[in-house]
């Protein structure tokens, strides 16, 4: 695996690879890598791409600076995992490289409705930061395929919209399934901060999502939502939202709808750790 820190160097390397016939598959991350991230790299490789991963802890997407300061960092381990996972290129830019005009100087994008609900409502400014960094990284890497995780469902929608808005719609945005632990907990860099007792019960978020899915033909969503809220609270979680939405546009639904592709989404906090997860509702 080749590691680059400077934009000009990585651009030159990718240009040479592309001209010799290999297309680029890009996996942007914030580091503290786990098997979920590696599944994206694996997909890029399986698709025959030059797998390019970036590790950049983007300051502009953290509305809570405490969350940024406590975000896990494990560069040495990340590099080892990426080598084992078959990654070809790692990009590790500095903040100056990504934001040469300062964090406030970067171009911003308006995601409208998507920025007002769920993650947008509870983390003001978060998607503005995501838009800034992803636009900048795409401009640098110019990938053929972009691999992102369904784990961050709303972010996937924001990125799809960004790709359209910036005229980069020739990039194929590939949404990869959520990698989970044995008890269903969605893999996340934040899981490392869970204490042992917190980790033991954290699978309850996925249990709630499964229950929302399994009761879709037999109950009112409000009733299931209340049961999930009670279960989460009984385990020590503070639910931020338990929501049902149209999976095509994230329009919130007050009840299950026949003939509408649906997604159930949960955000909940335990201690200082905020976890999110979602499932698409099959029939
Ligand atoms: P992050 O480093 O958390 O910003 O994540 C980088 C990319 O990995 C994003 O596209 C995430 O959606 C994706 N990702 C994070 N966790 C998982 C997971 N458990 N399964 C699949 N993809 C994931």
pLDDT in tens, 52-94: 999 999 999 998 899 999 999 999 999 999 999 999 999 999 9
Domains: count for the chain: 2
d(CA 223, ligand 1 centre) in Å: 31
Compute the average pLDDT of residues 101-108.
92
Note down the domain range covering 264: 189-281
Q: pLDDT tens across 153-168, in order?
A: 999 999 999 999 999 9
Q: Is the pLDDT of residue 280 over 90?
A: yes
What pLDDT score was predicted for residue 231? 98
**Distance of CA 219 from the midpoint of ligand 1 (Å):** 32
Q: Residue 56: which CATH number?
A: 3.40.50.620
* pLDDT single digits (tens) 217-273: 999 999 999 999 999 999 999 999 999 999 999 999 999 999 999 999 999 999 999
The DSSP call for residue 173 is E
* Pocket, ligand 1, Cβ cutoff 6 A: 29-30, 36-37, 39-40, 148-149, 151-152, 176, 178-179, 186-189
Least confident window among 62-66, 128-132, 186-190, 233-237: 62-66
215 part of a folded domain = yes
Residues 213 and 111 in one domain: no
Same domain, 117 and 150: yes
Q: Are residues 106 and 218 in the same domain?
A: no
Residue at which a domain ends, from 151, 176, 201: 176
Residue 182 lies inside a defined structural domain of this protein = no
Q: Report the separation in Å between the CA atom of 217 and the middle of ligand 1, taken as the mean of its atom positions.
A: 31
As a whole number, the mean pLDDT across the chain is: 97
Domain endpoint, select from 121, 147, 176: 176
Is residue 184 a part of any domain in this protein? no
CA 166 / ligand 1 centre spacing (Å): 22
Same domain for 166 and 247?
A: no
Please list the active-site residues: 37
For 197, half-sphere exposure in the C-beta direction (CA atoms, 13 angstrom radius) is 5
Name the phi and psi angles at 116, rounded to 5: -105, -10
Judgement on whether residues 172 and 210 belong to the same structural domain of the protein: no
**Does residue 132 sit in the same domain as residue 259?**
no
Is 244 contained in some domain?
yes
Asked if 199 and 162 sit in the same domain, the reply is no
Site to substitute for ligand 1 among 36, 54, 185, 265, most atoms within 8 A of C-beta: 36
Same domain, 120 and 224: no
Q: Which of 244, 243, 245, 233 is nearest to 269 (CA)?
A: 233
Token reading at 234: 């009984």
- Evaluate whether residue 203 is within a structural domain: yes
- In whole angstroms, give the CA distance from residue 272 to residue 108: 29
137 with 206, same domain: the answer is no
Look up the CATH number of the domain holding residue 273: 3.30.1300.10
Residues 81 and 161 in one domain: yes
Domain boundary among the residues 176, 204, 239 is at 176
Residue 282 pLDDT > 90: no
Q: Are residues 134 and 253 in the same domain?
A: no
Is pLDDT of 179 > 90? yes
Measured CA to CA in angstroms, residue 114 lies from 121, 159, 177 at distances of 9, 11, 21
> Is residue 181 in a domain?
no
Reply yes or no on whether the pLDDT at 283 is more than 80. no
Does a structural domain hold residue 183? no
The reply to whether 64 falls in a domain is: yes
Instruction: Answer yes or no: do 90 and 223 share one domain.
Output: no
pLDDT value for 155: 98
Q: Which of 94, 84, 8 is nearest to 51 (CA)?
A: 84
DSSP string, 92-138: ---HHHH-TT-GGGS-----GGGGTSTHHHHSTTHHHHHHHHHHHHH
Region 276-283: mean pLDDT is 92
Q: What is the pLDDT of residue 140?
A: 98
């Amino acid at each position: 695996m080749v590691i680059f820190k400077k934009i000009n160097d990585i651009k030159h390397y990718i240009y040479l690879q592309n001209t010799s016939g290999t297309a680029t598959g890009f996996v942007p991350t914030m580091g503290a890598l786990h098997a979920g991230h590696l599944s994206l790299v694996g997909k890029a490789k399986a698709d025959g791409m030059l797998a390019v991963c970036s590790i950049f802890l983007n300051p502009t997407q953290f509305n809570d600076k405490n969350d940024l300061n406590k975000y896990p960092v494990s560069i040495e381990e990340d590099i080892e995992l990426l080598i084992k996972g078959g990654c070809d290129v790692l990009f590790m830019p500095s903040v100056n490289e990504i934001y040469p005009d300062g964090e406030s100087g970067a171009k911003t994008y308006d995601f409208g409705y998507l920025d007002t609900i769920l993650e947008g409502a509870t983390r003001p400014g978060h998607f503005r930061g995501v838009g800034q960094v992803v636009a900048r990284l795409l401009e640098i890497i110019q990938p053929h395929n972009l691999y992102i995780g369904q784990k961050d469902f709303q972010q996937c929608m924001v990125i799809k919209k960004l790709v359209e808005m910036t005229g980069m719609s020739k990039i194929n945005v590939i949404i990869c399934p959520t990698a989970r632990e044995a008890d269903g907990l969605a893999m996340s860099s934040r899981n490392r901060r869970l204490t042992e007792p917190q980790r033991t019960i954290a699978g309850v978020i996925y249990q709630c999502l499964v229950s929302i899915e399994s009761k879709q033909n037999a109950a009112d969503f409000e009733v299931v939502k209340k049961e999930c809220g009670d279960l989460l609270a009984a385990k020590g979680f503070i639910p931020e939202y338990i929501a049902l939405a149209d999976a095509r546009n994230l329009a919130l639904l007050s009840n299950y709808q026949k003939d509408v592709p649906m997604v159930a989404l949960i955000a909940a906090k335990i201690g200082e750790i905020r976890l999110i997860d979602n499932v698409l509702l099959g029939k």
